[in-house]
Amino acid sequence: MTRGRGGFLNDDGLTQAVREAGAVELLLIRHGESEGNVAATEARQAGAAVIEVPARDADVNLSDTGQEQAKALGAALARITEEFRPDAVVSSPYARALQTAEIAVETAGWPVKVRTDERLRDRELGILDRLTRLGVEQRFPEEVERREWLGKLYYRPPGGESWADVALRLRSVLAELNNLGQGHRVMLVCHDAVIMLFRYVLEGMAEREILDLAASTSILNASLTRYVRPSGEGPWILESFNVADHLAEHGVTVTEHGGDTSVHPK
């Protein structure tokens, strides 16, 4: 399958000399369960300080369950009629997301290239990378205090990103969607925090609203979130959120690997 790079406006067939409106549908998909998800859960359950991931974050692959989830996702996407099929599929370049996108598109039988865009990558954790909450408390207690003071939206670990930083790169992605030309449908395959922050930006949420959502909801692996705007302009309408019925329908395990739910400033 051909992989593209960069934004998705440089593909022949998506650019137009004159653009009067933007995309009409946006599908947001979290990657299938990854080996990193499994390792993080095992580390927390074991009371370990360090998550024994097999590779750097960008190179962590799907677990066996994650691959089955991607196939089930593809089977669900195959039911979309050609008229309503996304004409652009863009993935985070991280292996777990790209593998999910490629498996799903191949299973669905869609004749579309999977492109990558680094703006869809997961949030970077800096010095906290590979550490459980216990590990952070043991090694960087001052960072625990700073995070509790600032809250998740604005806390930036040294060398990493805050949620607000991620939201900034997503705003530029959405600006491109507004210039695709009316009628286009786009599928983005990314990460749980990214999907949360798409909601934050698309719905104009306040800090309290997005943190309340993050504290109460985990984005399921290989789940679908769908936004529409039939006119191709104006606000996006949330049609469905965090749907994973297609996994159970195909006898595939539904997995929930969420982040820390302690997100509000104190």
Q: Which CATH number covers residue 91? A: 3.40.50.1240
User: Which whole-number Å values give the CA distances from 193 to 120, 196, 210, in the listed order?
Assistant: 10, 5, 11
Is 148 within the bounds of a domain? yes
Rg (CA), the chain: 18
Rounded Cα distance between 165 and 124, Å, is 10
Average pLDDT of adjacent 10-residue blocks, the chain of 266 residues: 45 43 95 97 97 96 98 98 95 98 98 97 98 97 97 98 98 91 92 98 98 97 97 95 97 92 91
As for how many domains the chain has, the answer is 1
Residue at 163 is within a domain: yes
Predicted confidence at residue 129, as pLDDT, reads 97
pLDDT of residue 3: 39
- 257 assigned to some structural domain: no
The pLDDT score that the predictor gives to residue 261 is: 81
- Does residue 264 sit within a domain? no
What are the DSSP E strand ranges found in the chain?
3-4, 25-30, 88-91, 114-116, 185-190, 224-228, 237-243
Residue 258 lies in a domain: no
pLDDT at res. 30: 98
* Domain ranges, residue 162: 3-11+18-249
The span from the CA of 259 to the CA of 266, in Å, is 18
In this predicted structure, what is the pLDDT of residue 260?
81
Question: Does residue 255 lie in a domain region?
Answer: no
pLDDT recorded at residue 53: 94
Position 262 in a domain: no
Q: What pLDDT does 107 receive?
A: 98
Per-residue confidence (pLDDT) for residue 8, from 0 to 100: 53
Q: Within 10 A of 6 (CB to CB), how many other CB atoms are there?
A: 13
Report pTM.
0.92
Residue 254 lies in a domain: no
